[in-house]
Structure 1
């Protein structure tokens, strides 16, 4: 009769060493990045160096130190983790609410950086002597960074978990605040692209964590509300920063203040519970092949692209079209100026609708309504009508397009297995930002005249209608992409 020798279990000393290295490298890199970035901003705001001779001689040293700190933190955060710990208990209701506030704050930071682009451009054009066309490369660089960031961070959150990815993104946001010290416009383009890369992927990270904090049936409603709050809050943060800082400290202050806002966000990140990590890393990673070829994923990606194309691509040219058509003054000026404020009440109404209706039905209504409203708005511009027809068609287009952007990622988050949720949502968020990036560039030659804008509205509106028709045509059999 054979006997087998039972060996004692091995102690994973390598796992302990990895944990120690991860903790030391992450802490050291984080301290260096935050300390140098905050000190750099303090010197600027307190007048340690006159703003008329900024950037000062020490900014090259600070850039080197920040780069070293980021590399050290990356080495710690990207190292494969130690053997997995037991699954932490589900957070209490108060802890979940606090975590939702922290995640919403992260999205506010994301939106505020994009909104800040419009406030820094006037001062930057004046200082560097730029033409409007060349200065327009700044938002292009920033949006291009956000597109890639959505794909990158969506993939990282599946691998690293929510908390590590949030820390990494926050460090990127803090470190790129030194964008305010770039001596050349080309340097600003590079740093703006890096800033977009750092914060552009917060949306898939936040909504991956959301599935661990609320019931699946509540994710679309709560997520749409968070998106609306973040849009309004981000614009408020950017506009108030510009009003308080720019008159005395110039446009550079709007970037350098990011060291403080990012530092505050860093302080509250520990309030995000560990269950958010296990929610996105707990399932076996066997569904990735289903992501690339799954019909529902392709439909959501197309829907996201059309939402971005309408809200950020077409509406960017509305002021130009209105001026060229002879419309001056009126309610549309205030409406366009307050687009971000409109997002909050729209999100509240949308959240209530999602609590009582299927996400696919709401998505179809939004896309159909937005497409029809855009076509009617183009027809109003073509015929030169004024008054209520112009106001109603423009208002409907703004409302529907903002609702589409606010809802596309939350409504899609429930359709992905946990192991691929970050990647799936990252691609959808990236598609919406890609629509906002290529829209103004691709449509620039068509929207200069009312007839050209009508053609654009007809094409884009038809695409939105198609997205609405096919969005809810067929649900996944098991409700989730990649679910076994």
Structure 2
């Protein structure tokens, strides 16, 4: 029986000023995604050192890179669907515990097979943390700021790789490659008690059940203290009603072709991204750069992604899909350029910068687009499957790079091949743009250039 007022939770979030409570949520999520980015990239930092110690060819690390990424596919899909059934909060915490512990276990590996298995298991936690981070960030952000906030929150992922890259060279030289994994385990595990004490459940998710009225009233009172919210009010979210966690719902009511095209976009984008970020240190070593400069290649591409994502989001506030496609085309040219400029440090780093700026910048913008596309009942599933399919591309990328190297090809040839996937992503976005122009979408989602949160 309904009592009190009927209150649209989404309308409250959209109408209120950006509160200190929401800042707290995003800061916690930002910290989590920094750790996720660091631990995801950790294997690329240590690969040259392990290769030298274990006397392995560089191409042998392709399966190890892909094992961790295969784990993120499993984690994104399974934890995303589970989140629509049991909520986001505890899955974020459980994922952090999982990838923190298993990153430490990676330091115990004494053989190629052990390291491969441990990276696979750690990847499950990394993927689960990412998809629930995206759902929580989207559901606590007002619509006017959602894409900007989600994109800025995702800066933590490349920032984690940047921080790791800056310290990886000196740490490996002074303390050995295992120190990279020690740090990647310690920081997330120290964060767990903070998450348990301060991380809230998604208020939009809580609104799907009448059992959580008291919790919702408390959360909304923190978001908008000027209004009175009571446990006897009726809370809801005005969205299409679908079965929670239903994969089939991703292909009904007009979602089908857009879902496929968005999946393909992330898949193609991540093929290139993870081929580059995993192989750049080893490839730069092969052209004669010392390990400190080689690792800085990964730092550069991730740093450029941080800047590029905000610029691309703002540039794509109108004609979103076609402009994102254009960013991918420019990025493809920059990727090809890495293999064409020779072995001089400055030209190589310049091309790496523009590759990260346009390709990964557009990729983060597409991810933000997806988080706002699906309703709350299937948001975790939609984001999880998009990330899962995309991460399958990230699994293929390092393997493809290893295959190119195993054929004794020049390192420059790999960069020419890496220019193909972003061109494919651009074509998928252009097809989606044409589709949206021909018929009305079930939910129109646009990227907005927003002022800073108030």
State the TM-score bracket (shorter-chain normalisation).
0.7 to 0.9
Shift of the 280–265 alpha-carbon distance from structure 1 to 2, 3 Å rule, reads farther
2:271 paired with 1:309: yes
Equivalent residue number for residue 479 of structure 1: 443
- TM-score norm. by structure 1 comes to 0.68
Shift of the 376–320 alpha-carbon distance from structure 1 to 2, 3 Å rule, reads same
Equivalent residue number for residue 143 of structure 1: 69
Match of 1:466 among 400, 422, 427: 427
2:234 paired with 1:273: no
Residue 402 of structure 1 and its aligned partner are, at CA, apart by: 1.5
Match of 2:133 among 206, 211, 214: 206
For structure 2, the residue ranges without an aligned partner over 5 or more in a row are: 1-8, 210-236, 446-454
2:409 paired with 1:409: no
C-alpha distance in structure 2 between counterparts of 1:458 and 1:340, whole Å: 17
C-alpha distance in structure 2 between counterparts of 1:407 and 1:394, whole Å: 19
Deviation string, structure 1 residues 2-49 (Cα, Å, up to 9, x no partner): xxxxxxxxxxxxxxxxxxxxxxxxxxxxxxxxxxxxxxxxxxxxxxxx
Equivalent residue number for residue 108 of structure 1: 34
Match of 2:399 among 427, 438, 441: 441
Shift of the 281–185 alpha-carbon distance from structure 1 to 2, 3 Å rule, reads farther
Shift of the 264–184 alpha-carbon distance from structure 1 to 2, 3 Å rule, reads same
Matched-pair contact (CA < 8 Å) for 1:224–1:350: no
2:177 paired with 1:215: no
Equivalent residue number for residue 227 of structure 2: none
Equivalent residue number for residue 194 of structure 1: 121
Residue 372 of structure 1 and its aligned partner are, at CA, apart by: 4.6
Aligned pair count reads 387
> What pairs with 1:47-58 in structure 2 (closer than 5 Å)?
none
Equivalent residue number for residue 71 of structure 1: none
Match of 2:329 among 355, 371, 382: 371
C-alpha distance in structure 2 between counterparts of 1:471 and 1:376, whole Å: 24
Equivalent residue number for residue 57 of structure 1: none
Shift of the 375–276 alpha-carbon distance from structure 1 to 2, 3 Å rule, reads same
Report the RMSD for the aligned CA atoms in angstroms: 3.8
> What pairs with 1:23-42 in structure 2 (closer than 5 Å)?
none
C-alpha distance in structure 2 between counterparts of 1:393 and 1:437, whole Å: 24
Residue 309 of structure 1 and its aligned partner are, at CA, apart by: 2.1
Match of 2:188 among 238, 252, 262: 262
C-alpha distance in structure 1 between counterparts of 2:381 and 2:159, whole Å: 26
Residue 445 of structure 1 and its aligned partner are, at CA, apart by: 5.1
2:232 paired with 1:232: no
C-alpha distance in structure 2 between counterparts of 1:455 and 1:231, whole Å: 23
Q: Secondary structure at the match of 1:216?
A: coil
Larger Rg: 1
C-alpha distance in structure 2 between counterparts of 1:239 and 1:426, whole Å: 31
Equivalent residue number for residue 261 of structure 2: 299
Equivalent residue number for residue 249 of structure 2: 290
Deviation string, structure 1 residues 241-291 (Cα, Å, up to 9, x no partner): x35654454222322334421222212213222344725855754273231
Residue 430 of structure 1 and its aligned partner are, at CA, apart by: 2.0
Matched-pair contact (CA < 8 Å) for 1:312–1:436: yes
Shift of the 156–281 alpha-carbon distance from structure 1 to 2, 3 Å rule, reads farther
Shift of the 409–281 alpha-carbon distance from structure 1 to 2, 3 Å rule, reads farther
2:128 paired with 1:128: no
Task: Answer 1 or 2: higher relative contact order, Cα 8 Å, separation at least 6.
Answer: 2
Matched-pair contact (CA < 8 Å) for 2:309–2:357: no
Residue 194 of structure 1 and its aligned partner are, at CA, apart by: 0.6
For structure 1, the residue ranges without an aligned partner over 5 or more in a row are: 1-86
- TM-score norm. by structure 2 comes to 0.72
Q: Secondary structure at the match of 1:290?
A: helix
Q: Secondary structure at the match of 1:273?
A: coil
